[in-house]
Amino acid sequence: MELKKIGVVGCGLMGHGIVQIAAQAGFQVFAFEAKQEFLDKGLARIEKSLSKMAAKSVEKGKASAEDAEKGAAETRARITGTLDQKDLADCDLVIEAIIEDLDLKKQLYKELGAICKPETIFATNTSSFPVAEMGEASGRPERMVGLHFFNPVQLMRLVEVVRTEKTTDEVFATAKSFGEATRKVPVACKDTPGFVVNRLLVPYMVQSLLMLERGDATAADIDAAMQFGCGHPMGPITLTDYVGLDTTLSIVEGWVERYPNEPAFAIPEILRTKVKEGKLGRKTGEGFYKWDGDKKA
């Protein structure tokens, strides 16, 4: 199936990046948000990222200032922000990147199933919820996949393409080709908790927080250990701030509820406390570290 028009629901931390890479790949993109202020914030993030990338390609001698600006302008022109869900009705692919709340996601898929054309493929960027349940809620489980991108979407090369038992070969192949068109490396995954990356990564982040909670080492030393001992670009506690403490908590809470006997799934008290305090990481300016915009303060 040929994709031309892409809808993205949610223009937050992940959604804005998905809008941007889809537009950069030449697709016409509708970015849907529930409120104008969220949409404005997401579009401003895209603007910032496009300027950064244009400046970088000039600096590296990959493009002239004129060509870099032309490329950014073309990307910008392919993006339409909307508060009207009906604008998604004739999209070929709708990717959902709203908060990690399964009930909210199911409600959204029910609504999308009712308004979108029958050929529309639905994809969720969920970190950890069962894709199949969202497919059932949409009323077209055979046209449902997971397209799980990584933060920051503009830079991370991977996309997990998740197929459920009902996803058709055609839908899976189309979703994979979308991943390739956005210049990501697609990996195929079954519909399992956390797919490949988060099943490995989140328990590791949790263990680092339990270590911090026990006082085994400081946050800075735990991070330095993994950065300099294992060559990771950032340590697990910085990464938790980067991903968002609320997102991390909702992933593990969901797992603990569904799989109470899996010892790798645990909820550090320190994570609950920070989230209660509204310290959600980089996006709120404080998590386990203090942040000044995109950088640690």
Nearer to ligand 3HC, 21 or 108 (CB): 21
Least separation in angstroms between CB 242 and ligand 3HC: 6
133 catalytic per annotation: no
- φ, ψ for residue 190 (rounded to 5)? -80, 170
Question: 235 near 223, Cβ under 8 Å?
Answer: yes
**Minimum distance, C-beta of residue 16 to ligand 3HC, in the bound complex (Å):** 9
The catalytic residue among 49, 125, 127, 138 is 127
The single-letter code of the amino acid at 44 is: A
Binding residue count for ligand 3HC, defined by CB under 6 A: 18
The one-character DSSP state at 192 is -
How far is 94 from 242, CA to CA, in rounded Å? 26
> Which residue minimizes CB distance to ligand 3HC?
127
> In which residue are the tokens 């401003």 written?
44
Nearest 5 degrees, angle CA 277-CA 281-CA 286?
A: 65
Candidate list 34, 225, 234, 270; residue touching ligand 3HC; CB under 6 A: 234
The nearest distance, CB 239 to ligand 3HC, in angstroms, is: 6
Residue with tokens 């997102």: 247
Told to check if 52 binds ligand 3HC by CB under 6 A, we report yes
Binding mask 184-213 for ligand 3HC (x = CB under 6 A): --------------x--x------------
The CA distance from 170 to 164, in Å, is 13
Does residue 231 touch ligand 3HC according to CB under 6 A?
A: no
85 vs 198, beta carbon nearer ligand 3HC: 198
Of the two residues 89 and 220, which places its CB atom closer to ligand 3HC in the complex? 220
Q: Of residues 24, 154, 208, 240, which one binds ligand 3HC by CB under 6 A?
A: 154
Is there a catalytic annotation at residue 257?
A: no
Identified catalytic residue from 125, 148, 250, 286: 148
DSSP code of residue 146:
E
Least distance from C-beta 294 to ligand 3HC, angstroms? 6
174 binds ligand 3HC (CB under 6 A): no
Would you state the structure tokens that stand for residue 217, as one six-digit string? 């080492």
Residue type for position 71: G
Are 161 and 147 a contacting pair, CB within 8 Å? yes
Q: Do 108 and 9 contact (CB within 8 A), yes or no?
A: yes
Name the residue among 51, 5, 12, 23 with its Cα closest to residue 182: 23
In the complex, what is the shortest distance from the CB of residue 146 to ligand 3HC, in angstroms, rounded to a whole number?
Answer: 11
Catalytic hit among 198, 208, 250, 286: 198
Q: Is 86 in the site for ligand 3HC (CB under 6 A)?
A: no
Please tell me whether residue 161 binds ligand 3HC under the rule CB under 6 A: no
Shortest Cβ 49–ligand 3HC spacing (Å): 3
Taking the C-alpha atoms of residue 48 and residue 199, their distance in angstroms, rounded to an integer, is: 32
Active site residue 160: yes
List 160, 208, 250, 286, catalytic entry: 160
Give 79's contacts (C-beta < 8 A, 6+ positions apart). 19, 20, 23, 29, 31, 43, 46
Helices (H), 186-232: 197-214, 219-230
Residues that bind ligand 3HC (CB under 6 A): 49, 52-53, 56, 127, 150-152, 154-156, 198, 201, 233-234, 239, 243, 247
Task: List, by residue number, the catalytic residues.
Answer: 127, 148, 160, 198
